[in-house]
A and B are shown apart, each in its own frame.
Chain A
Amino acid sequence: MTKRSILFLFFVTVLFCLGLVETVDSDLWWHLKVGESVFTHGIPRVDIFSFTAVGQRFIDQEWLSEVLLYLMNAWAGMPGLMISFAFLSVITFGCVYFTRAGLPLVGIPMTILACYSSKFLWQARPQIFNILMLAALLWLLQGVRDRKRSWRWLYVLPVLSLFWVNMHSGNLMGIVVMALVLACDAFQGGVLHSRAEGILRGVEIKHFAVVFSLSVLASLCNPVGYKIFVFPLQTLSTKEIQSFIMEWQSHDFHNPFAWGFLVMLVAGAMSLMLFPKRLDLATAFLYAGSMAGALMSRRHSPFFSVVATPVMIQMISSGITSARWRAFLSLEFSWNFPRGVRYGVFSLLAGLIFVGSFVWSQHKIAGYHRSISQYFPVKAVELLKGRGYSPKRVLNEYAWGGYLIWNGFPVFIDGRTEVYGAQFFKDYLDTMGSREFSPKVRGQLDRWGIEYCLLNARSPLRNALKMTGEWQEVYQDGLSSIVIRKPLPPGSAVKPEGK
């Protein structure tokens, strides 16, 4: 046992613990349900989960991720999901650490920072596969560009694309990254005749062109064919999605969640300005582009971490020229302790790391029930199910649609915004944000034949409905509120309670 192995054990454990988070992603539930549907009936082509868009086209661009999520949940439940995504965190940021050469004591803290800055988005969700795939792509590609591995490894990329495209439509990002590297390296090597290190040249660039074409072809091997390339562009160009869904918005740097990303930006500036080193054109474009993407949408900030962290590690590592510092940061120094003491200390540290990670895992896993109750209307849904309300038409909170789907309720709306369309989403937001029972709100409720509303207790619409004589609140528990249309349906068993 050496100090290097202890350090890496600590590194892996930190990545695991940072990735082990409560599963409170609002979309998880409908992903599980879709996964179940795919597993039992095949890939759905139309919506089967809502009563407002039922029968409308549904592009299930994440079917493979959903099947994996469903199988993991069926096999090991929520704890299994949490632990598997914690391992994905280790793999993803392991790829980030090994993408470019660097000193271990520079690379490890920087990678942990990258993982921490992405933590706010880390959940059991298909989007994580995008981050993993991008990290794997860059690790493979940069290894070939840095001559650490043979160009033959490039031929793994089409296989990667084949998996990626069926896991998430974010595969387009991989295609864009490959196209950018191909164009920049061809320009830099072929036109500028640059002698820069870390770019593909000669036979490598020719093979990469072939690999790129194969990857594009592999990306077509999915249930919707070429339309998979259009899907992300539709999402990116839908104003309502970009404006109203939190994770598509820019970071609010007053919020501590964004500070990890801010530290990454400052660390980036530090690497570039204090440890200057000329890098290639593709790296410059990837760095600047991923930074711009992350600033536009907080959802993209893990991509910046994945792209920029190896660059920072390389720059800082190569900028440290002092032999003494290099020896220290690469762990090439000796401790003058007797061998037995050293082993004893290392064994103790290893034991502490194992115990620490075990306790942390237990704590997180034990807390997931509480987290779910904090974010989702667990009690209200149990009540509604018990009283036979699940087939009735509900106006639900956007973030609770998935949970209702998982519990067998046909929903008004859920996280599959693209199924519902921009106008529907806008009307929905207008209705939910209304502080008064206007004719427009009434029109919306009547049009869809809404029988009851499952609202957040702080929803403005809740107050607006309560003030009218036509609706009555029958349940509230601090998180959620059930408001039903008066008169109470004949034979209704739902009685006012919980007030």
Chain B
Amino acid sequence: MAALVYAFGLTPTLDPDMGWHLGTGEWILQHGFPRTDPFSFTVAGHFWTAHEWLSEVIMRRLYGLGGYPAMMISFALVGVLVFGLVYWTCPRRPYIAGALAFFALLTSRFLWGARPQIFNVLMMAAFLLLIQGVRMRRFHWKFLYTLPLLVMIWVNLHSGYLLGLVVMVAFLTGDLFQIFVLHSEEGTLGEKGLAHFSGILILCLAAVGMNPTGYKILLYPFETLSSKIMQTTILEWQSPIFQHWNYWPFLGVMSLGAAAFLLFPPKRNIANFLIYAGSMAMGLFARRHIPFFAVAAIPMIALAVSEGFPVPAWVNRGSDVALTQTARTFRYLLNVFFAMVILVGVFSWTGYRLNHNPSAMEKSFPVKAFQFIKGNGAIARLRIYNEYVWGGYLIWNGFPVFMDGRADLYGGKFFFDYLFAHDLRGGAVGITRYLDSYGVDGILVPPGGILGNAFLSNPEWRLAYRDSTAVLFLRKVPFSVPPVTQSPERFYSPLKSNNLEGPRRPHS
């Protein structure tokens, strides 16, 4: 199971934000916690909350240990840990719990990668294991006192710590209602546990302040959640489109949950309902929340299913049957053989995935285009308008960006204008004015896109570089530095002598 989870979690490092996370990690290690934006030329110096600083330092350290392969392997192992915790939270291990925990992985897989959001899923799984473990009397209530420590770590890993607090409030409210209104303690924290849990919740709130921005972090998640432009334009904040196979496992878990609860009715538990329905609604609102539903719902579904199916006799028969020495030896050898097969499989798969990562990155990021920019000192000094999803890659390569995935930093107005210009909604005139206003001399966008096509016929711009991933257009007469007069022969450079008239400012 662990090998399978690892194999599914071993994904290429294609998250568009990974670059700026690494860049921020690097910055923190060198200069300390940033208070303002150090990476863009459009909002440089603006106030910025690096709410994921600890994740970013961890990612940078991992990169330092072994580059992208180390990050891929580490986050695959985090996957093993997360779904191990889910498995451990489920009753009826190993079969039903194993199958359903794997289903949870399939549900979350589309979002898996080297990114701080994964720590949210990990922390959520740890929270649920601890709290549900105490509610199911598998752990002593004293274990709950680890929660403030988890919150302290979580708040520095990601602002998604708020989810942990919300989950705690849901458990507290649900169990209070169940104990004092419905007069049922079964499957709750119990009166004594609840008293401690209330105190622990206060300690957790106190622990939230232990981060570089203090209690301001309490407001940060709401800025993102209330930003209409982020919610409507950033893909992973949108509702899942169930016609895409990425979301079929989510659909499957919801359908399985409904069928399981109808056929094997669970015991009434208010808190479980709040967590189940709340995480389902969150997943339906924004696809990035789907893993939370998987982590929260699967143990509840496993509980229902396990109560519906009595343990078949054959499951435990193996330990009862007296085996001969030969049979035992054979079984031992067979197990060793299977373990070897699994290990070989894991190593082969790891090698295969690691080998293919660079080519996958080349297809997703402007790797060669950036090498071209770097190789031309004059171009490297220009202000270049970049595709939103490439900002992170450019930051990690030390290039000041027009925009990147830190949409909260840029603000709704900037983001809206960016998209307006990007989609040519203001026409050719609109984009020209927009680029002029930021003194942009180059644009780095995918070929065949709206901008990529529009600038091919723009007489004030020239195509300086093109490959299958990116095109670079340069202003024939740049704002900032003299135009490039030479470029390597292998690159397309339509620069003609009639453009060598020196720099000019279009509005001067």
Return chain A residues, CB-CB under 8 Å to B277. Answer: 265-266, 269-270, 273
Q: From residue A492, how far is it (CB to closest CB) to chain B in Å?
A: 28
In the bound complex, CA of A265 to CA of B239 (Å): 15
Q: Are B255 and A292 in contact (CB under 8 A)?
A: yes
How many angstroms between the C-alpha atoms of A123 and B238 in the bound complex?
27
**Which residue from chain A places its CB closest to the CB of B232 in the assembled complex?**
A254
Most A C-beta atoms less than 10 A away, residue of B262, B268, B270, B272:
B262
Given A253-B284, A262-B284, A274-B273, check contact A296 B262 (CB 8 Å): no
Q: A265-B284, A270-B277, A273-B276 are in contact. Are A436 and B454 (CB under 8 A)?
A: yes
Task: Given A265-B284, A266-B277, A273-B268, verify A250-B259 contact (CB < 8 Å).
Answer: no
Contacts of B281 in A (CB 8 A): 253, 262, 265-266
Contact with B along A193-228 (1 / 0, CB 8 A): 000000000000000000000000000000000000
Q: Is A233 an interface residue (CB 8 A)?
A: no
- Bound-state CA distance A367–B301 (Å) is 48
CB-CB under 8 A from A266, the residues of chain B are: 277, 280-281
CA distance A242 to B262 in the complex (A): 30
Within 8 Å by CB of A296, from B243, B256, B424, lies: B243
| In contact, A296 and B273 (Cβ under 8 angstroms) | no
Q: A72 at interface (Cβ–Cβ under 8 A)?
A: no
B264 and A291 contact, CB distance less than 8 A: no
From A268, A273, A311, A436, residue with most partner B Cβ within 10 Å: A273
Which residue of A has the minimal Cβ distance to B267?
A276
Tell me, in angstroms, the Cα distance from A249 to B239 when the chains sit together. 11
Is B262 within 8 A of A283, CB to CB? yes
Indicate whether A463 reaches chain B with its CB closer than 8 angstroms: yes
B457, closest chain A residue (CB): A436
Q: How large is the interface on A (under 10, 10 to 19, 20 to 34, 35 or more residues)?
A: 35 or more
Does B241 lie within 8 Å of A250, measured CB to CB? Answer: yes
Asked if A328 is at the interface of the complex by the 8 Å CB criterion, the answer is: no
- Is A355 part of the binding interface, using a Cβ–Cβ cutoff of 8 Å? no
Q: Does B285 reach chain A (CB closer than 8 Å)?
A: yes
Residue A324 at the chain B interface, CB threshold 8 Å:
no
Given contacts A265-B280, A266-B277, A272-B262, contact A295 B270 (CB under 8 A): no
With a CB–CB cut-off of 8 A, which chain A residues contact B270?
Answer: 274
The one of A283, A295, A319 that contacts B254, using a Cβ cutoff of 8 Å: A295
Question: Taking the nearest CB of chain A, how far is it from the CB of B344, in angstroms?
Answer: 39
On whether the beta carbons of A278 and B263 are closer than 8 Å, the reply is: yes
1/0 per residue, CB under 8 A from A, across B217-242: the answer is 00000000000000110000011111
Closest to A258 in B: B239
Cβ–Cβ contact A278 & B265, under 8 A: yes
A269 to B276: give the CA distance in the assembly, Å: 8
Q: Which of B240, B263, B450 has the most CB of A within 10 A?
A: B263
B83-98 vs A: 1/0 string, CB under 8 Å?
0000000000000000
Complex interface: chain B residues within 8 A of A297 (CB)? 243
CA distance A275 to B263 in the complex (A): 13
Partner of A292, one of B251, B423, B450: B251
Flag if B268 contacts A242 (CB, 8 Å).
no
Q: What sequence of 0s and 1s flags, for each residue 229-246 of chain A, a beta carbon within 8 Å of any chain B beta carbon?
A: 000000000000011000
List, in ascending order, chain B residues with CB within 8 A of A270's CB: 273, 277
Of all chain B residues, the one with the shortest Cβ separation from A271 is B261
Most buried by B among A274, A275, A311: A274
Can you name the residue of chain B whose Cβ is closest to the Cβ of A276? B265
Instruction: Tell whether A399 is near chain B: CB-to-CB under 8 Å.
Output: no
Give the contacts of A272-289 with B (CB-CB under 8 A): 272-279, 281, 283-285, 287-289
B197 to nearest A CB, angstroms? 21
How far is B284's CA from A270's CA once the two chains are assembled, in angstroms?
17
- Nearest-CB distance from A398 to chain B (Å)? 19
CB-CB nearest in chain B for A261: B284
For the complex, give the distance between the alpha carbons of A281 and B427 in Å: 58
A299 at the interface (CB under 8 A from B): no
For B259, the chain A residues whose CB sits under 8 A away are 284-285, 287-288
Could you say which residues of chain B place their CB within 8 Å of the CB of A292?
242, 251, 254-255
Chain A interface mostly helix, strand, loop or mixed? Answer: helix
Residues of A within 8 A of B266 (CB): 273, 276
User: How far apart are the CA atoms of A266 and B293 in the complex, in Å?
Assistant: 13
Is there a chain B Cβ closer than 8 Å to A252's Cβ? yes
Cβ-defined contact, A253 with B450, below 8 A: no
Give the CA-CA distance A265 to B250 in the complex, in Å.
Answer: 14
Cβ contact within 8 Å between A279 and B262: yes
Contacting pair B285 A288 (CB below 8 A): no
Instruction: Kindly list chain A residues whose C-beta atoms are within 8 Å of the C-beta of B265.
Output: 272, 276-278
Do A276 and B268 have beta carbons less than 8 Å apart? yes
CB distance from B249 to the nearest CB of A (A): 12
Residue B432 CB within 8 A of the other chain: no
* A251 part of interface (Cβ distance < 8 Å): yes
Interface status of A435 (Cβ within 8 A of chain B): yes
User: Contacts A288-B258, A463-B427 given: A278-B264 contact, CB under 8 Å?
Assistant: yes
| Closest Cβ–Cβ distance, residue A268 to chain B (whole Å) | 7
The reply to whether B261 and A272 contact each other, CB–CB distance below 8 Å, is yes
Closest residue to B453 on the A side, CB-wise? Answer: A436
Q: How far is the CA of A278 from the CA of B269 in the complex (A)?
A: 16
Query: Does B454 contact A242, Cβ atoms closer than 8 Å?
Result: no
- Known contacts A266-B280, A291-B255; A250 and B269 CB within 8 A of each other: no
Q: What residue in chain A is nearest B276 (Cβ atoms)?
A: A269
Across-interface contacts of B251 in A (CB, < 8 A): 292, 295-296
CB-based contact B243/A249 at 8 Å:
yes
User: Who on chain B is nearest to A242 by CB?
Assistant: B243
A324, B360: Cα distance in complex, Å: 66
Q: B431-474 interface mask toward A, CB cutoff 8 Å, 1 = contact, 0 = none?
A: 00000000000000000001001100000000000000000000
B240 proximity list for chain A (CB < 8 A): 250
Chain B residue numbers with a CB within 8 Å of A285 are 259
Q: Are B258 and A250 in contact (CB under 8 A)?
A: no
Chain B nearest CB from A189 CB (Å) reads 15
What is the CB-to-nearest-CB distance from B59 to chain A, in angstroms, rounded to a whole number? 30
- In angstroms, Cα B290 to Cα A295, docked, is 14
B254 proximity list for chain A (CB < 8 A): 291-292, 295
> Are the C-beta atoms of A249 and B276 separated by less than 8 Å?
no
Q: Which residues of B contact A277 (CB under 8 A)?
A: 265
Q: Which residue of A lies closest to B252 (CB)?
A: A292
Can you name the residue of chain B whose Cβ is closest to the Cβ of A255?
B239
- Chain B's closest residue to A243 (CB) is B243
Which one of B257, B259, B267, B269 has the highest number of Cβ atoms from chain A below 10 Å of its Cβ?
Answer: B259
CB of A163 to closest CB in B, whole Å: 31
When the two chains form their complex, are residues B239 and A269 in contact, meaning their CB atoms are under 8 A apart?
A: no
Contact partner of A269 (CB less than 8 A), chosen from B268, B273, B424, is B273
Check if B450 sits within 8 Å of A273, measured CB to CB: no
Given contacts A249-B241, A287-B262, 11 further A-B contacts (CB under 8 A): A250-B243, A252-B238, A254-B285, A270-B277, A276-B266, A276-B267, A279-B262, A284-B259, A284-B262, A285-B259, A435-B424
Q: List 17 A-B contacts (CB under 8 A).
A: A253-B281, A253-B284, A265-B280, A269-B276, A273-B261, A273-B266, A273-B272, A275-B268, A276-B261, A284-B258, A287-B262, A288-B258, A291-B254, A292-B251, A292-B255, A295-B251, A311-B262
Give the interface of A toward B (CB within 8 A): 242-243, 249-254, 258, 262, 265-266, 268-270, 272-279, 281, 283-285, 287-289, 291-292, 295-297, 311, 319, 435-436, 463, 467
The 7 closest A-B pairs by CB, nearest first: A276-B265, A272-B261, A288-B255, A284-B262, A273-B273, A288-B259, A269-B277
